[in-house]
Copies of this chain bind each other. A is one copy, B any other.
């Protein structure tokens, strides 16, 4: 018989877990709906809910307050009872995203509402130990702004450059100038934080932010492509976040070959997409110093700039056509600095995709990333990653709520 460990895990739940999960995944529900969804009696719902409300994990709300975050249960008229929702203030999720010269932090409540968000600069050659200290200080500062402390956290996710080996938990293999190479980021932050610490590649966390709050919202099969110094990606497959495959090495769209006869790449492949469509490749082809110079020339209609951006888009479109024939995403989100060139790069991507992909796969929407957060996108995606781990979150909340009736029914 085929095993499905996902749904098996879902079965291994107490009634408290079931009720809280349903509220977190479904939003506000009437008691009767909650009983039906969880397959338990209304008496069971009443007993457990009383306890969850006492523990501060669930709150009762009246109709027009439903889904508004930050409502204090004591303000709600007792006669209008009936709607229940998970208490957004029962815990906080945090993300820290480390790029070469910055760390950005993001703290949300359990409904995903931002409580605090800010960044700090770090010198390029700062070792990881110092980056960790800076990150924790930033986290404490953000929590303090939100009138919280570390005890409020239900989970933290950390973004770093480069792939993370899921087998060893270690960042690597070594990238030039990559401070975290060889470090088990989760274990190192775990020494300072009493909650689960998740780790993800910067670009994959930008992708999670777009899937949760940006251009991917509501879609089930999405590719996010970050055209930046490197080219990374994130994937949503049938509604599930792709964690990078067997060892977490997936998502490296920049090292998909756009031309097998192209120049050798240090990765082992030839004619990798980064050689044609990364920010660095485009700047180098045009002898520009930075993205602003590029955007100014593009706006002025400089022929060379328009041509190089078109060629970058065409190479990207060819690689995307191959990915579409493999996975048939409904939407492709293009982010990273180069996406700021807008249709000068997006239109050639679309035209090439329409021409090269198969009939059922070629009509994927190609859209620009929506979240104009700059370096913040990764940090907000890290917080979103914490909120997506519903099972872990429910367990953490119930452990903190000191329930009496759990297992009573």
Contacts and interface: CB of A to CB of B under 8 A. Distances in A.
Interface of A: 1-8, 10-15, 17-18, 21-22, 24-27, 36-39, 41, 86, 110-112, 163, 165, 173, 212, 220-221, 233, 235, 237-240, 242-253, 255-261, 267-270, 318, 321-330, 355-362, 364, 384, 387-388, 390-391, 409
B7 A252 contact: no
25 contacts: A1-B25, A2-B388, A4-B390, A6-B6, A7-B10, A7-B25, A8-B25, A12-B37, A12-B38, A12-B39, A15-B39, A18-B39, A173-B359, A245-B327, A245-B361, A247-B361, A249-B325, A249-B328, A249-B358, A249-B361, A250-B361, A260-B318, A267-B359, A270-B356, A322-B322
Contacts of A244: 328
Contacts of A110: 1
A273 to B, nearest CB: 10
Contacts of A2: 25, 212, 384, 387-388, 390
3 residue pairs, one from A and one from B, having the closest CB atoms: A245-B328, A249-B360, A246-B330
Contacts of A22: 8, 11
A362 B268 contact: yes
Contact of A6 (B7, B212, B233): B7
Nearest to A258: B260
Nearest to A233: B326
B357 A325 contact: no
Contacts of A243: 238
A165, A269, A409 — most chain B CB neighbours (10 Å): A269
A86, A244, A361, A362 — most chain B CB neighbours (10 Å): A361
Contacts of A330: 245-247
A37 B13 CA distance: 7
Contacts of A235: 326
A167 B6 CA distance: 26
B7 A18 contact: no
Contacts of A14: 39
Contacts of A246: 220-221, 328-330, 364
B1 A11 contact: no
Contacts of A327: 242, 245, 250
A249 B13 contact: no
B1 A13 contact: no
Contact of A358 (B25, B242, B255, B356): B255
Contact of A250 (B86, B250, B326, B391): B326
Given A249-B328, A360-B249, A239 B4 contact: yes
A247 B235 CA distance: 17
Nearest to A9: B7
Contacts of A357: 268-269
